[in-house]
Amino acid sequence: MANNFSKITVGGAPRVELHDVLSLTGAEVSINELPAGASVPFVHAHKQNEEIYGILDGEGKAVIDGETVSLAAGDWLRVSPAAKRQFFAAEQSGIKYICIQVKANSLQDYTATDAVIG
């Protein structure tokens, strides 16, 4: 019988991409950690994928299309595909965040409308 699920344990790596290890087919999910004072070393945008960032721990900032957005644990941020973005940890604190990447405008059904009961 084929498994209808995948499970892994994420260790202490500074970046883990889950699409390969969980065989994801509709999203890319990564767990990211930047030490105090560090940053993602490049500015980037996407062709078609929006990103949802959830700040799990610490604080920092994102610079999105030249605008600085402060980030702290508990914050959630959606960034459209075309926006140019770069992430930074605060000087005094590292930051740990999850990034969920999905094709923009692809969500058709969700929660109860996508559920099959029984």
Which tens digits make up the pLDDT trace of 9-30? 988 889 999 998 898 999 999 9
Q: Tabulate helix, strand, coil % of the chain (nearest 5).
A: 5, 45, 50
Which residues are CB-neighbours of 6 under 8 A, at least 6 positions away?
21, 22, 23
Q: Where are the domains of the chain?
A: 30-105
Q: How sure is the predictor about 2, in pLDDT bands with cuts at 50, 70 and 90? A: low
Q: In the predicted model, what is the mean pLDDT of residues 88-112? A: 93
How far is residue 34 CA from its own chain's centroid?
13
Which tens digits make up the pLDDT trace of 27-72? 999 999 999 999 999 999 999 999 999 999 999 999 999 999 999 9
Q: How sure is the predictor about 112, in pLDDT bands with cuts at 50, 70 and 90? A: confident
- By CB neighbour count within 10 A (0-12 exposed, 13-18 middle, 19+ buried), where does 49 fall? middle
> Is the pLDDT assigned to residue 1 strictly greater than 60?
no
pLDDT attached to residue 109: 84
Query: Which CATH architecture fits 30-105?
Result: Sandwich (2.60)
What is the reported pTM? Answer: 0.89
Residue 76 CB-half CA count within 13 A: 2
